[in-house]
Amino acid sequence: MPFMYQNILAAICLLTLFAAHPVVAAAPIPAPPSVAASGHLLMDFDSGRTLSEHNADQKLEPASLTKIMTAYVVLRELKGGHIQLDDKVLISKKAWRTPGSRMFIEVGKEVSVEQLLKGMIIQSGNDASVALAEHIAGSEETFANLMNNHAQRLGMHNSHFVNSTGLPDENHYTTARDIVKVSAATIREFPEYYPWYAETEYTFNDIKQHNRNRLLWRDKSVDGVKTGHTEAAGYCLVASAKRESMRLISVVMGTDSEDARARESLSLLNYGFRFFETHRLYDAGVALNQTRVWKGTKESLAVGLEQALYVTIPRNQYANLKATMNLDPKRLAPIDKGQVMGSVDVSLADQIVISVPLIALEQIDEGGIMQTLKDTVLLWFE
């Protein structure tokens, strides 16, 4: 089949993929709830779509939300094989004396990395945070440099950390948008450890303490992530919930009470789940089309997506989605694997919801002299 007709056929298939039902007019989505916080953000985990925000890029004190980044760095070290869960950590005087919330470790005693991680994640122990930082980097100051390096890699460009705990410092800050990024990375990269964020209590040294995230009791779909509070930062909460196949992450920073941060977070989550739905449209690395390549060792190139494609749309509008594929028909070899070859545009009510690059799923080298001459002649007629 000529490639021109293959491309047309593929585009028709994409267009009809979502058109199995008659078009239904979208009901208007109500405005998000008003949130009594210095800054907030509600985001779909899979698609990355923001559903509500206010002052999401304003630099704010994170208090113990900092420990989401602290734990992320520790989990990266675990995944990299640099430390082990059963490693014994000698507790320093600095860690033992760290003020604020604590898991009640004792100076000079040895505590495992796993115990310290749970004490930090579940009990929000400042002492555990410092002990882990010192174990990994030698000092809390050096560990903060690791935190900032990972923050930059994750695109948290409005964040800067000077300690592992979130204790107040004028040079220690983040934003609602940035803290969502590291929260999402934690859920995505460490599925074996993320369930610790849903544990409601932890006992160490015969002292039982409860998780401060009240939503773990109020809503069974909530499975994380972290609370924070100082006088300067106010009451903060990062919450994540999964209902059926849809996961949302909310952040509220600078509310005026424990009850307020829980109430405002649940209000955001309920809004997102009530009025939106998320769909996985295409998998990563699967050929969505074949495109013609000229002057190469092969004439046909498979194209697809680097990452799975998700869209978040108003509820009951899936049948009204339309997808179109845009491909440059005159691609010349050589083609590198991963090279952008075009795009897939997904639209709803004539508005593009998302546009993602189509990439080459294989490499095609430059062809020989005869193939080059043949395609040069054919291109004249194109």
Res. 373: pLDDT tops 90 = no
The confidence band for 10, taking pLDDT boundaries of 50, 70 and 90, is: very low
Q: Supply the pLDDT for residue 375.
A: 66
Catalytic residue among 38, 47, 52, 64: 64
The confidence band for 28, taking pLDDT boundaries of 50, 70 and 90, is: confident
Catalytic residue among 38, 47, 52, 67: 67
Average pLDDT, the chain: 92
Q: Supply the pLDDT for residue 313.
A: 97
Catalytic residue among 38, 101, 124, 159: 124
User: Do the beta carbons of residue 314 and residue 26 sit within 8 Å?
Assistant: yes
Would the CATH topology of 3-24+283-381 be identical to that of 39-274?
Answer: no
Q: What is the pLDDT of residues 338-349, one digit of tens each?
A: 999 999 999 998
Q: Which of 188, 173, 280 is nearest to 225 (CA)?
A: 188
- Whether 67 is a known active-site residue: answer yes
Mention the CATH class of domain 3-24+283-381.
mainly beta
Question: Hey, what long-range contacts does 51-57 have (CB within 8 A, 24 or more apart)?
Answer: 51/248, 51/271, 51/272, 51/276, 51/312, 52/268, 52/271, 52/272, 53/176, 53/177, 55/176, 56/175, 56/176, 56/177, 57/158, 57/175, 57/176, 57/177
CB count in 10 Å sphere of residue 347: 16
Q: What is the pLDDT of residues 37-61, one digit of tens each?
A: 999 999 999 999 999 999 999 999 9
The domain over range 39-274 is classified in CATH as 3.40.710.10: yes
The confidence band for 266, taking pLDDT boundaries of 50, 70 and 90, is: very high
**Domains of the chain, residue spans:** 3-24+283-381, 39-274
- Percentage of residues of the chain with pLDDT beyond 70: 92
Q: What is the pLDDT of residues 153-212, one digit of tens each?
A: 999 999 999 999 999 999 999 999 999 999 999 999 999 999 999 999 999 999 999 999
Q: What are phi and psi of 190, to 5 degrees?
A: -130, 60
Q: Tell me the Cα Rg of the chain.
A: 25
